Amino acid sequence: MPQIPAAISRATGRSIPYVQIPIETLRQHNADAALVYDFVNEGSLQVDISALRKLHPGLMDFGTWLRNLQVVQPGVFSSEMPTHPRLDLKQAASLFSKFL
């Protein structure tokens, strides 16, 4: 999925490399995440984006969400921010709801 780090690179103005993690490594660290990864990448997940956009006209792709994140949280990608900011569940839900 090199599209994800490419979108983050565009949003942050920093070069974010794509690093593929072997599925076995993921499985060792988080078996549930590995199951989700397999499910999505085996083609078992079928999503009709056009139908979803009709139901949720504000639906964004990842790049648009990243650009809007900078509008909602100016400086979110600045070098002063910690590399792994921690949000509690309430903060994350509040932030996410702004994009729905």
pLDDT at 85: 55
Quote the number of domains for the chain.
2
Place of tokens 């590399």: 83
Question: Could you tell me if 60 and 42 lie in one domain?
Answer: no
Residues 100, 97: Cα–Cα separation, whole Å: 5
Q: Are residues 61 and 36 in the same domain?
A: no
Predicted TM-score (pTM) above 0.75: no
pLDDT tens, 69-96?
Answer: 765 566 666 655 445 455 556 666 666 5
> Within a domain: residue 22?
yes
Q: 33 and 1, same structural domain?
A: yes
The separation between CA 65 and the C-alpha centre of its own chain, rounded to angstroms, equals 9
Domain that holds residue 11: 1-46
Measured distance CA(68)–CA(3) in Å, rounded: 18
Do the domain assignments include residue 7? Answer: yes
- What does the pLDDT look like over 21-44, one tens digit per residue? 899 999 999 999 999 989 888 887
The reply to whether 3 and 41 lie within a common domain is yes
**One domain, residues 33 and 70:** no
Q: Six-digit token pair at 71?
A: 């509008």
